[in-house]
Structure 1
Amino acid sequence: MELVLEFDDAGSPRPVPVGGGAHAHVDAAPVDDLGAGDDEAPSAEPVAVEAPSRRSRRERGAHRSADGPVEVDVVVIGAGQAGLSSAHHLRTSGYTAVGERGWERAERTFVVLDDSPAPGGAWQHRWPGLTMADAHGVHELPGMPFRVVDPAEPAARAVPHYFAQYEDAFDLHVQRPVKVARVSDVDGWLVVESHSVERPDEGVVWRARGLVNASGTWSKPFWPVYPGQAAFRGRQLHTHDYRTPQELADGHVIVVGGGTSAVQLLLALAEVTTTTWVTRRPPQWRDEEFRPEVGRAAVALVEERTRAGLPPQSIVSVTGLPLTPAYRAGIEAGVLAARPMFSRLTATGAEWDEVPVANGWAEGPASVEAATVLWCTGFRAALDHLAPLRLRGTGGGIVMDGTSVVADPRIQLVGYGPSASTIGANRAGREAARNLQALTTP
């Protein structure tokens, strides 16, 4: 793929038409409330890699010509919490953001590419009824406090507003909406092919010495496959596409999944209709204060999996569900009473071959009619664009050492595995920036 690059008066790259064929991508292994899968072929064995030697400022400026890639030290993919944390730590370590005046002459540079239309990461896409009081553990970004004035404010408004202020305060110059289609290794460089979301035929190729991948999971909702799914004549939708309970008030709703999203949506739907909750495992309620040591222990268990190259589990699958006053009320009202997974879907609902009630599951009939099946079954890590690098191991995941990919330390994964929590994302951003600073500093 070849580009003709242009630059505006501030020195920012201006996308221009691109050519080239389509590229095949490999899906990531699913991570969801029902469990993790393994749908990846083994990758090549880990190899030792080094970032290319640094060009002088004059050489780098000349290389940003009208007929080649834009050369930077670090590309950050994604501007959610983990991506912004990484960008902040790069910025405070002496890296200059692409788009800042004079960036072409800077000793060390980075660019943040984000495919969302506005600041806010995945938070801008959350359902309107999710308030700041319901959003668990939104942790402030490094260097700027996050003060919630009204707990009833929708998280989809409050968090993006905070992220937008953060981008401006630290002069991060996030490029959006920009989609990263592919990252490959060419002569020791990481070549990042990107294009405008709104105009896919306009793009920029970046050539980097290091990469922070903070692409998150929101763009990869996971839909499990169950018998009879195609036969169901009602509505099926995923948490990703849920907006308001009123849209589902036309009949009974079967909610699938054992995480916090399922619990929150069950409580919201109970205000307008009847529901049945089904899970693969009985819900694990935590009737104790969520102390810091509990969180650290949970993160350690997830990190143990990623070090072994296994697909990471969600933090809540390790910690369990907190027994908040609202959740206790939902249990007492019979709304938060989980049944085991149905055996099949039918044209009009779901059927169970057996109706066990042991191990914490609730009683229920052998069949349930429903207008909607709501799949609260989690998300996959959005890593398709990294497929050409063949980072996955035989366990179905990516072998990690902290935020570093063992097979290629130039790649830092943040918001993945143990850093998927909001607190973990901040720590991961600092670690990733530190690792790449060591790698890209001559």
Structure 2
Amino acid sequence: MDDLIVIGAGQSGLATAALAPHHGFPRTLVLEAADRAGGAWPHYYDSLTLFSPARYSALPGMPFPGEPDRYPGRDEVVAYLRDCARRLPVEVRTSTTVTSATRHDGAWAVRAADGSRFTARALVAATGDFGTPHTPELPGRAEYGGRLLHAAGYRAPAPFAGQRIVVVGGGNSAVQIAAELGAVAEVTLATRRPLRWLPQRPLGRDLHWWLKHTGGDIAPLGRWLHRLPASVLDDGHWRAALAGHGVDRREMFTRLAPDGVVWADGTKEAVDTVVLATGYRPAFPYLDGSGALDTEGRPRHRGGVATTVPGLGFVGLEFQRGFSSKTLRGVGRDARHVLTRLRRQPS
């Protein structure tokens, strides 16, 4: 029997695994559904860049290589995470999809789709939410004849050249996707409220420097921040890109029509593609029936530690303990918190 099983080898799972042997879990096993570590990162759109500099984007004990003040791209992050996985002092078992995890006689029994079974005294769910993109209810969706695509399925602008496109969303991903599509297509960014721009480098220092040195992203402030509307972190580049490519912002359309959208003023417009940059929702189907989830499938937890089932933690939840909980910079802090409290729980 292992001391700890970590489900997921993305940034959250790898951060947890890196810290586990130093927090009372020397025998730790990481289970990953994909054939390689990296979590959702290999599946993000090609041009994605981190919103935080490399110096603030490292997992515990594993600095991000290269110039520390640059903003690494997707492929750099994938390479970094896979290198971290190779350097971990624990076993990472890939191509292992967990189908169930239940608590029996003081231990967790974990089953995989290939029939494998594993046991451990503690379990950390770190599978993220990329696999469950959120698609809001859109009136007229069933009759819309164009392409409706979530950002999870978007990769590059070339296939959309010459189209009329509406991107829905007011966060960084929506702005980045709209800006690069604007170079090859006619694009509108549709949001329910005006864009909120946050300076990337207030007073000459990256925002993440200020958050780290002031403690500004630590609970309880971090839990309050999630109530605010989505914001766009920008040093001026993305705002200029939207303007330069003629991307306009409009109030969210009221409904989809067979050939396009109906805007708030009643105007109908033909639209080839609607891209939904509307985020994701956590899902832990392998914990169904464990008592760890509420009626809507959300984890019952406090700071990432399950409140209804012993020996269970979560890492990588949005605003789990603060503003940076779902980021490369924040997962290590949250993993340390969860592991410390799991270690103190009686067997």
Same fold by TM (over 0.5)? yes
Distance apart, 1:189 and its partner CA: 2.7
Counterpart of 1:431 (choices 337, 344, 347) is 337
Counterpart of 1:300 (choices 197, 206, 219) is 219
CA displacement 1:325-348 (0-9 Å, x = unmatched)? 212313544745422221110111
Report the Cα distance in structure 1 between the residues aligned to 2:194 and 2:291, rounded to whole angstroms: 36
Report the Cα distance in structure 2 between the residues aligned to 1:172 and 1:204, rounded to whole angstroms: 18
Distance 1:439 1:302, change over 3 A: same
Report the Cα distance in structure 1 between the residues aligned to 2:118 and 2:70, rounded to whole angstroms: 42
Larger Rg: 1
1:325 aligned onto 2:236 = yes
Please list, as runs of the form range in 1=range in 2, the aligned pairs for 1:70-85 lying within 5 A after superposition.
71-85=1-15
Contact 1:217 1:382 in 2 (8 A): yes
Letter in 1 for 2:236: P
Report the Cα distance in structure 1 between the residues aligned to 2:187 and 2:169, rounded to whole angstroms: 13
Aligned to 1:192: 110
1:113 aligned onto 2:34 = no
Report the Cα distance in structure 2 between the residues aligned to 1:235 and 1:302, rounded to whole angstroms: 39
Report the Cα distance in structure 1 between the residues aligned to 2:222 and 2:69, rounded to whole angstroms: 32
CA displacement 1:286-332 (0-9 Å, x = unmatched)? 24722317985455357647xxxxxx949xx5672224221231354
Report the Cα distance in structure 2 between the residues aligned to 1:149 and 1:373, rounded to whole angstroms: 37
Distance 1:320 1:295, change over 3 A: farther
Contact 1:298 1:319 in 2 (8 A): no
Report the Cα distance in structure 1 between the residues aligned to 2:236 and 2:331, rounded to whole angstroms: 28
1:238 aligned onto 2:150 = yes
Distance 1:396 1:204, change over 3 A: closer
Distance 1:152 1:267, change over 3 A: farther
Report the Cα distance in structure 2 between the residues aligned to 1:168 and 1:392, rounded to whole angstroms: 32
CA displacement 1:207-251 (0-9 Å, x = unmatched)? 222111111111111111211112111111111111110111141
1:165 aligned onto 2:83 = yes
Distance 1:140 1:378, change over 3 A: same
Contact 1:251 1:371 in 2 (8 A): yes
CA displacement 1:259-308 (0-9 Å, x = unmatched)? 11100001100110111111123221224722317985455357647xxx
- Partner of 1:262, secondary structure, is helix
Please list, as runs of the form range in 1=range in 2, the aligned pairs for 1:1-80 lying within 5 A after superposition.
71-80=1-10
Letter in 1 for 2:138: Y
Counterpart of 2:46 (choices 101, 117, 128) is 128
Distance 1:435 1:390, change over 3 A: same
Aligned to 1:361: none
Aligned to 1:338: 249
- Identity among equivalent pairs (%): 30
Report the Cα distance in structure 1 between the residues aligned to 2:245 and 2:153, rounded to whole angstroms: 26
Please list, as runs of the form range in 1=range in 2, the aligned pairs for 1:262-277 lying within 5 A after superposition.
262-277=174-189
Report the Cα distance in structure 2 between the residues aligned to 1:298 and 1:117, rounded to whole angstroms: 34
Report the Cα distance in structure 1 between the residues aligned to 2:101 and 2:32, rounded to whole angstroms: 15
Report the Cα distance in structure 2 between the residues aligned to 1:325 and 1:304, rounded to whole angstroms: 27
Give me the CA root mean square deviation.
2.9
Contact 1:250 1:371 in 2 (8 A): no
Q: How many residues align?
A: 332
Report the Cα distance in structure 1 between the residues aligned to 2:216 and 2:270, rounded to whole angstroms: 41
1:347 aligned onto 2:277 = no
Distance 1:328 1:295, change over 3 A: farther
Letter in 2 for 1:233: G
Contact 2:51 2:71 in 1 (8 A): no
CA displacement 1:6-47 (0-9 Å, x = unmatched)? xxxxxxxxxxxxxxxxxxxxxxxxxxxxxxxxxxxxxxxxxx
**Ranges of 4+ aligned residues in structure 1 off by more than 6 Å:** 150-154
Report the Cα distance in structure 2 between the residues aligned to 1:347 and 1:370, rounded to whole angstroms: 9
Report the Cα distance in structure 1 between the residues aligned to 2:18 and 2:295, rounded to whole angstroms: 34
Q: Which has the higher contact order (CA 8 A, sep 6+)?
A: 1
TM-score normalised by length of structure 2: 0.85
Distance apart, 1:408 and its partner CA: 2.2
Gaps of 5+ in 2: 320-324
Contact 1:123 1:155 in 2 (8 A): no
Letter in 1 for 2:273: T
Distance 1:285 1:119, change over 3 A: same
Gaps of 5+ in 1: 1-70, 97-108, 196-201, 306-311, 356-364
Distance apart, 1:395 and its partner CA: 8.9
Please list, as runs of the form range in 1=range in 2, the aligned pairs for 1:372-387 lying within 5 A after superposition.
372-387=273-288
Report the Cα distance in structure 1 between the residues aligned to 2:222 and 2:306, rounded to whole angstroms: 13
Contact 1:350 1:369 in 2 (8 A): yes
Contact 2:178 2:242 in 1 (8 A): no
